[in-house]
Structure 1
């Protein structure tokens, strides 16, 4: 017969001396602090976690979402923590930014958050296409994120809406409004996580545009900031984008913000 673990009463008494805050402190240190604890204390620590079902947001004890982590530890500051939406092996836990100030928003960052402001070349003649997806340009590719598709899909299941912010840098092209034609017909297109294609201000999501410097289509660098907010969670994160009427002298770039779920 194996060694019997600590009794419930023993664990209960121990929790009076070993608070969750202390456990959280030790676990987040990541400096081998537990090596100095006895094996019996480690057993108690593990049992306490199981009894309280309280995630720590660390690599070995990730939370399901930032919202769950906030419920367990309401005094934690905003910052980077680990989550595991599929609640399987912690080996596939992902590092995200938890915005507790915003109610426990889980923000997944892109693996490359800045696409350089430059002239983008392609073998496809510009005049043959009004729109061309960024991945079709030399050096372009689909936009990837720190979480895989499976984890994102499960994270969306526990969320009600998603938000993502962008800053589009331009020269000779527009992002949203075009003052020359007094219309939005040439506004940016983007491809959602499910492969669906959308266009800024198409009515399929809530769009917030500020500092629309690209509307004048001048030969000087300008920028337009915009935010996409939607209850159709499959629309985000953005995987690709397309700029209209790109000429040989045109330049553009994009700063990609994290996609945040709540």
Structure 2
């Protein structure tokens, strides 16, 4: 006895497959468009701020969203974009006193790959305790603080990575708060952010200190 198949039973799988292909093409088209013209929003993040700067130079400095590895939306990161400085991507610390940015290692590695330089400011506020120099000559002492870079490298006085010190008056012991400012600027973006401060003074005998951690900015 012959078996007859209706046209509907044959054509429906083909229609379903065509719909799925169309949806996939639409998604790919939207993805390509977002890569070509990122908006810096959570739904349409840029890789880094420089991408936004290159696409549209009339954007204002402020808060934007980036996704350096262009992965899933779950790891997009909110940053400060400094277009005035050419499109810097600035990561703020989780709190002003902590050397943490809240950015995962994978995303940070991609930021490093996409950048050519980095800068970070750290200030140590001091009460009756020196952290760099011990007198008005402002020469670093053997007890100067040192720093641990993102790569694990130790940054200390006297080496090629020594930070700039625009101000250092922590050596003054007059019962008042003073500060020492450190500027880390490198053509090797992998060194930043700073992840630890080493050899900090012991807080005793009326001596006190606290950190003020600035954002780390990549370009």
Query: Shorter-chain TM-score category?
Result: 0.7 to 0.9
Aligned to 1:248: 204
Residues 169 and 223 in structure 1, CA contact (< 8 A), matched pair in contact too = yes
Equivalent of residue 91 in structure 2, options 77, 84, 108: 108
Aligned-partner Cα distance in 2 for 1:180–1:211:
11
Kindly indicate whether the alpha-carbon contact (under 8 Å) linking 1:174 and 1:244 is maintained by their aligned counterparts in 2. no
Q: Which residue number corresponds to residue 154 of structure 1?
A: 110
Q: How does 1:111-260 map to 2 (within 5 A)?
A: 111-114=94-97, 143-179=99-135, 183-185=139-141, 186-199=143-156, 201-205=157-161, 207-249=163-205, 250-260=207-217
Q: Which runs of 4+ in 1 moved over 3 A?
A: 1-5, 46-49, 180-183
Runs of at least 5 residues in structure 1 that lack an aligned partner in the other structure: 6-42, 116-142
Q: Could you tell me whether the CA contact under 8 Å between 1:61 and 1:90 is conserved in 2?
A: no
CA RMSD of aligned residues (A): 2.6
Q: CA 1:74–1:212 in 2, change beyond 3 Å: closer, same or farther? A: same
The residue matched to 1:211 in structure 2 has which SS?
strand
Q: Tell me the residue number matched to 2:75.
A: 92
2:32 matches 1:50: yes
Give the SS at the match of 2:50. helix
Seen in structure 2, the aligned counterparts of structure 1 residues 61 and 179 have a Cα distance that, compared at 3 Å, is same
SS at match of 2:134: coil
Secondary structure of the structure 1 residue equivalent to 2:210:
strand
| Consecutive unaligned residues in structure 2, runs of 5 or more | 1-14
Q: TM-score, normalised by structure 1?
A: 0.67
1:48 is displaced (CA, Å) by 6.4
Greater Rg, structure 1 or structure 2? 2
